[in-house]
Structure 1
Amino acid sequence: MAGSAGLSPRGWPLLPRFAWFCAVATAAGLALGAAAAAWGRRRTRGELVRVGSVSELFIYPIKSCRGVPVQRAEVTRLGLRKGDLRDRCWTVIKEDGRMLSAKQEPRLVLVSVTCEAGHLTLSAPGMKTLSIPVELPRTNSICSCRRFGVEGEGRDCGDEAAQWITTFLNSEPYRLVHYETDMKTRKPVDFLPVFLPTDEVAYAEGSPILLISEASLEDLNARLEKKIKINNFRPNIVVTGCAPYEEDAWVELLIGQVKLGGHMCCPRCIFTKVHPDTGIMDKKEPLKTLKSYRKCDPSEQHDFKNEPPFGYLYGVDRTGVIQVGDPVYKIIH
């Protein structure tokens, strides 16, 4: 019958019927979105004020070695993660278990890390690449790892990895160890009382998340004769769209469903003087300039000593996924 192609078995015109279904689906989607947003607001229990957007994310798999930029990352209790790459879950240690930093061995920053098919690959100038399994043999020994007098644990990555690191640094014998999820973590509160007992790290200095704004770096660079990169300060999250040092006042943040609890500005040490591309430590900058104008609150003097604040340290109050471009909200109570 002529014209019958446009009718359903019930006699409804197909186009209006399709539009009706789309309208219902759209309304349902909007309702679910509104409910989710309301749930998020209830969970944060405070007013949300947008302060910027995420512009960069970095994971530093091996403590003091080169960072890996990522577009998207899972925020865990111990810091950022993408697949097998977890922030500062490998570290170089001395034979007595003390963790090594680029403060003692600046050339550590030249070691690059990639991960594929369950293997961590290390590369450095003048060295053949080294591949080690993420899942180490259970027969490998578990070492005690110590930083600031606080102990954690790590599984030894084997003699080949130890020889590779020792050869590259051309110094005393070192070993590479890996934190596994059932191992003992370190509690920042044991040496920084502003942190909570629930905050924990594997091998990071004192916090699972370090955040810095682009504006703060730009302000510092305006005072320096020789400009530096954000890599000098090794942030996990970089934020754009705010004023310089505005992050100093962001006590609680919401990025997606991730909630971060701020504890203190980051005291900056001589590590900031290590050039991330050469592994050479500058005699003065940028630390000299930072000290000239960045001062801690007098009540925090015993934590900062003579180290100027730059960037902000956070604990992870609620885990989730974040990505470059995400809006950043501060929570006002």
Structure 2
Amino acid sequence: MSAVTQLYIYPIKSVMGIPQHQAQVSFSGLLHDRRYMLIDMEGKFITARQFPALSLVHALPSTTDVLTLTHQQMPESLILRPSSFSDHYLSTQIWGDDVAGRWVDQHADEWFSQLLNTPVKLVFFGDKSARYTSRRPDQPVAFADGYPFLLANEASLGELNRTALEQTDMRQFRPNIVVAADTPFIEDSWHRIRIGTVEFENVKPCVRCVFTTLNPQTAERSPNGEPLRTLSKFRRWEKKGVTFGINLVALNEGIIEQGDKVEVLTWREPEQYQDLR
């Protein structure tokens, strides 16, 4: 039997995750997950892939939708209040998708520009923002890379760490939902699952990038290129890349929480991988 052990939201794309005991599921993702994004002066999205310092920005919710941001390099915190944001929307691009993002304000731009030492703007996924997933174009998604939910399995992490040159922390994969299952990578075979009252569908394996090599405490890259180095030996998915975790869409809305059982409603034929370890 599998069960949920951890839940995370990432209010701003690439910043530190916030653990949740309970989370509200909407079709576009967990409540407050990846509702903000940084863009450059041309409107293209910015992440910790280019600016690792972003991954050490700590977001502390103080009320329902107000965030206080801190970073060890910044002398002052930044408070984000959606009620005071600009009404102006900017044209942005994320993985080829054109999305209208609500501009936050000049103060937020200056705070992040100082942190990253490059001019950037902060945008919010507002009422006029819209984006949909590629394989399921009827399913909305905010500023997450491609799909509204990422699920990872502790047993799969254990199998990765068993033969890796160094130990990988689950936080490096930035999941929304972490489960404890008896079998490594059994999640590949899940088609539809139920957690609490919410049903999810497995759309595809999650292809991983260099972001996973960042230490979640220091933002330094792994000197051994882990976990990508080891994943490339036994989790290479054809020509698409190396995978860990599964991308989900929600089939209804509701509440999920730590300790909820994962009920497998239907199964699927998993992708095939060659183990070259």
TM-score (norm 1): 0.76
Query: Within 2, Cα distance between the matches of 1:166 and 1:282?
Result: 26
**Per-residue displacement from partner, 1:205-239 (whole Å, max 9, x unpaired)?**
00100000000111111112321210100000000
Q: Distance in 1 between matches of 2:112 and 2:149?
A: 26
Report what 2:30 is aligned to: 80
Query: Deviation per CA, 1:85-137, whole angstroms, max 9, x where unpaired?
Result: x1000011111111111111111100010121342111001211111212234
Residue of 160, 182, 186 corresponding to 2:131: 186
Q: Could you tell me which residue of structure 1 aligns to residue 49 of structure 2?
A: 103
Mapped contact 2:56–2:217 kept (Cα < 8 A): yes
Match for 1:250: what amino acid?
W
Say if 1:213 and 1:242, in contact at 8 Å, map to a contact too: no
Within the candidate set 103, 106, 118, 1:159 is matched to: 106
Q: Distance in 1 between matches of 2:24 and 2:66?
A: 19
Which of 206, 215, 235 lines up with 1:294 in the alignment?
235
1:28-65 per-position Cα deviation (integer Å, ceiling 9, x unaligned): xxxxxxxxxxxxxxxxxxxxxxx400000000000011
Is residue 310 from structure 1 mapped to residue 244 from structure 2 by the alignment? yes
Q: Distance in 2 between matches of 1:62 and 1:259?
A: 26
- Structure 1 residues 269-323: Cα deviation after superposition (integer angstroms, max 9, x where no partner): 1111111111122241111111011122x4xx3xx2xx20110000111111000
Instruction: Give matches, 1:222-301, under 5 Å.
Output: 222-283=162-223, 284-296=225-237, 298=238, 301=239
Any conservation in 2 of the 1:75–1:319 contact (CA below 8 Å)? Answer: yes
Letter in 1 for 2:36: W
Correspondence for 2:70 among 112, 123, 140: 123
- CA positional deviation for 1:169: 1.2
Contact 2:165–2:226 (CA under 8 A) maintained in structure 1? no
Shift of 1:204: 0.5
Structure 1 77/136 Cα, relative in aligned 2: closer, same or farther at 3 Å? farther
Q: 1:134 aligns to what?
A: 82
Find the residue that maps to 2:83 and give its secondary structure.
coil
Match of 1:13 in 2: none
Does the Cα contact within 8 Å between 1:64 and 1:109 map onto a contact in 2? Answer: yes
- Structure 1 residues without counterparts, runs of 5 or longer: 1-50, 190-194
Q: How far is 1:242 from its partner? A: 2.5
Provide Cα deviations, 1:69-98, integer angstroms capped at 9, x if missing partner. 0000001111112xxxx1000011111111
Match of 1:90 among 36, 45, 49: 36
Q: What RMSD in Å do the two structures reach over aligned CA positions?
A: 1.4
Determine which structure has the larger helix proportion and give its number: 1
Deviation at 1:141, TM superposition (A): 1.7
Maintained 8 Å contact 1:140/1:158: no
Q: Hey, what's the Cα distance between the residues in 2 that align with 1:144 and 1:275?
A: 32
- Long gaps (5+) in structure 2: 268-277
1:55 aligns with 2:55: no
1:64 lines up with 2:11 in the alignment: no
Aligned with residue 149 of structure 1, among 96, 99, 123: 96
Query: 1:207, 1:314 within 8 Å by CA — same for their partners in 2?
Result: yes
Aligned residue pairs: how many?
A: 264
Is 2:133–2:146's contact at 8 Å kept on the other side of the alignment? yes
Is the partner of 1:176 in helix, strand or coil?
strand
Partner SS, residue 186 of structure 1 = coil
What secondary structure sits across from 1:87 in the alignment? coil
Change (3 A) 1:209 1:89: same
| Residue aligning to 1:48 | none
The 2-side partners of 1:112 and 1:88 are apart by 14
Higher radius of gyration, 1 or 2: 1
Which residue does the alignment assign to 2:272?
Answer: none
Structure 2 counterpart SS, 1:96:
coil
* Cα distance in structure 2, aligned partners of 1:119 and 1:318: 26
- Contact 2:102–2:129 at 8 Å: present in 1 too? no
Q: Partners in 2 of 1:183 and 1:275 — Cα distance?
A: 35
